[in-house]
Structure 1
Amino acid sequence: MSYWVFDHIEVDDYLAFDKPKRDVVTFATAIGWQKLPYFITAWSDEPEASIRARLIGVLAATQAGDTVLHQVPSYNGYQYDEIVLDEMTQRGLINVAIVHDLESIRLGEKVLEPELTLLRQFKAIIVHNQRMKAWLEQHQVMVPIIVLDVFDYRSSVPAPTQQFARKLHYAGSLAPEKAPFLQS
């Protein structure tokens, strides 16, 4: 049995939106997981046959019983994600999702049902915190949900040592009517 992680390839790799996904790939490969590279496409009406043809190459090295970590959202759209899950199921892969962001919380009702339908198809889901897990359970996502209890990014910069000082750094208006708590 092998372990795989979807590693999206983005031309503009300096963008912040993909930092969590790159970090997951870094951590996963550090413990022996293998990458499944895929491109984020701007082709919103890509034919299903084209998506499946791309996935044949992406999933070629996987075997039945392997575990694949799918990073959600993929930014390729729900049709793409549904086809990925279908291909993974047909190949006998164990599909697990790590949820970086819930689009339905950010974008509202228009994406709620497609997102929930997608998430309900995974064998397990990894989320940031208990609140995200509770939200998913309230919306009848009843697969096993693992809570990381962290929401952070990998950094090569050491965390500074904090020293307590009785100083106040205030960014805002100093006018008495705007900041009465600063008086006295």
Structure 2
Amino acid sequence: MKKYYLSKNYVNLSNAGNKAKTDIEFILLNRGFTNIGLRQTCIKNELSGFILTLMGVLKACISISEGSWLVLQYPLKKYFLFICKFARLRGGKVITIIHDLGSFRKGRLTVSQEIKRLNNANCLIVHNKKMESWLKEHGSTSTISCLEIFDYLSEKSPKKIIDADPSFNIIYAGALSYKKNAFLYKLEEYVRNFKFTLYGSGFDKELLRGNINYNYKGFVPSDELIATADGHFGLVWDGDSISCCSGIFGEYLKYNNPHKTSLYIRCHLPIIIWSEAALADFVKDNNIGICIDSLEQINDILSGLSKEEYDAMRSNVVEISRKLSQGYYVSKALGEVFCKVGEGELIKV
């Protein structure tokens, strides 16, 4: 039985979404899958990248054979339907790993259009149980397996925690502009008995009133962040409110797995996450952090956290980090989906 995946041109490898996709390609390669397209490239010229990806897609369509399995990573723009239909014509089957649902964030597809598109895949690997339920409620007919959390590959090792400073340091990495995450600026009056360190682009210090507990580090590549991050928690939050994750991005948190969560874990940082986020269940079940209803609670929660409680979370994070570094969760999800379709011998975790 032949197992394939399709590589493509990635314009920007520092992008979180592309990092997740290239990690999965590497994991698939090491689990016995073969790249059916052209080799992975990183060409920033849009026309050249388009041509290379198109050539890879055409090569894949010609090469796929009866009884073979092809893993696609979604979204794949205009090529997804074409490849799925061609694979079916040639007797192949498609497993689609979902990274992003366009009907949620960008609105370029309606929900019904996206579900109809995804139903062209035989199997789906989705972020979590809440995304699975949402897809089924809206008409998904594919066999589904859940990822739980994105793996995160890096050869870098985190720093050892230093306990000389009695106050906690919370790290936030991501888009820092007021337009994208206004909560960062509204949180200032509540950052009292902890430090708040920000990594990313677009931060406007002029909008703050000078809280000395804020520390802006600028954009740092993920490998460097893993090696240098000096903190106690990683914050998973989005939107313009500190009382909940509001707006489009807040609603999306109820169903998706933010890649930054995996980055924090690879930094050996326990997680602070909105209690209604889909990943809150994973954080709670594995005791790797704290689930909160509002950011206004942070001071009181941290004040009541014992060293023993924190050390237990940190220890669990280190174990999950080890799994993320080895591609455990992608491998497990693939194994589960193959078992569901009666071909469990095709991959071992």
Q: Which residue of 2 aligns with 1:124?
A: 123
Amino acid at match of 1:5: Y
Q: For 2:129 and 2:110, how far apart are their aligned partners in 1?
A: 22
Shift of 1:32: 1.3
Q: Which residue of 1 aligns with 2:154?
A: 155
Cα displacement string for residues 83-111 of structure 1 (whole angstroms, at most 9, x for unaligned residues)? 11111111111111000111111123744
Greater relative contact order structure (CA < 8 Å, 6+ sep): 1
Shift of 1:151: 2.5
Q: For 2:157 and 2:21, how far apart are their aligned partners in 1?
A: 21
Q: For 1:175 and 1:122, how far apart are their aligned partners in 2?
A: 47
Q: For 1:18 and 1:89, how far apart are their aligned partners in 2?
A: 27
Conservation of the 8 A alpha-carbon contact between 2:125 and 2:146:
yes
Q: For 1:162 and 1:169, how far apart are their aligned partners in 2?
A: 11
Q: Which residue of 2 aligns with 1:62?
A: 64
Gapped runs of 5+ residues in structure 1? none
Shift of 1:162: 4.5
User: Number of residues paired by the alignment?
Assistant: 171
Q: Which residue of 2 aligns with 1:72?
A: 74
Distance 1:56-1:109 versus aligned 2 partners, 3 A rule: closer
Distance 1:17-1:151 versus aligned 2 partners, 3 A rule: closer
Q: For 2:150 and 2:100, how far apart are their aligned partners in 1?
A: 11
The answer to which structure has the higher helix fraction is 2
The yes-or-no answer on 1:107 pairing with 2:109 is: no
Q: For 2:59 and 2:15, how far apart are their aligned partners in 1?
A: 26
Q: Which moved further from structure 2: 83-92 or 153-162?
A: 153-162
Conservation of the 8 A alpha-carbon contact between 1:126 and 1:147:
yes
Distance 1:60-1:175 versus aligned 2 partners, 3 A rule: closer
Conservation of the 8 A alpha-carbon contact between 2:112 and 2:138:
no
Conservation of the 8 A alpha-carbon contact between 2:85 and 2:120:
no
Q: Which residue of 2 aligns with 1:144?
A: 143
Shift of 1:148: 1.6
Amino acid at match of 2:121: F
Alignment of 1:10-29 (within 5 A): 10-29=10-29
Q: For 2:191 and 2:137, how far apart are their aligned partners in 1?
A: 45
Distance 1:83-1:61 versus aligned 2 partners, 3 A rule: closer
Conservation of the 8 A alpha-carbon contact between 2:125 and 2:145:
yes
Conservation of the 8 A alpha-carbon contact between 2:17 and 2:99:
no
Cα displacement string for residues 46-93 of structure 1 (whole angstroms, at most 9, x for unaligned residues)? 9xxxx7x8644233332210100011011x23xx22111111111111
Q: For 2:109 and 2:125, how far apart are their aligned partners in 1?
A: 23
Q: What secondary structure is seen at the aligned counterpart in 2 of 1:17?
A: helix
Q: For 2:191 and 2:14, how far apart are their aligned partners in 1?
A: 40
Q: Which residue of 1 aligns with 2:30?
A: 30
Shift of 1:10: 2.4
Gapped runs of 5+ residues in structure 2? 171-186, 193-210, 212-295, 300-349
Conservation of the 8 A alpha-carbon contact between 1:5 and 1:69:
yes
Q: What secondary structure is seen at the aligned counterpart in 1 of 2:7?
A: strand
Q: Which moved further from structure 2: 144-153 or 83-92?
A: 144-153
Identity among equivalent pairs (%): 22
**TM-score if structure 1 supplies the norm length?**
0.75
Q: For 1:109 and 1:56, how far apart are their aligned partners in 2?
A: 25
**TM-score if structure 2 supplies the norm length?**
0.42
Q: What secondary structure is seen at the aligned counterpart in 2 of 1:9?
A: coil
Q: Which residue of 2 aligns with 1:172?
A: 188
RMSD: 3.5
Distance 1:175-1:117 versus aligned 2 partners, 3 A rule: closer
Q: For 1:143 and 1:174, how far apart are their aligned partners in 2?
A: 46
Shift of 1:166: 4.0
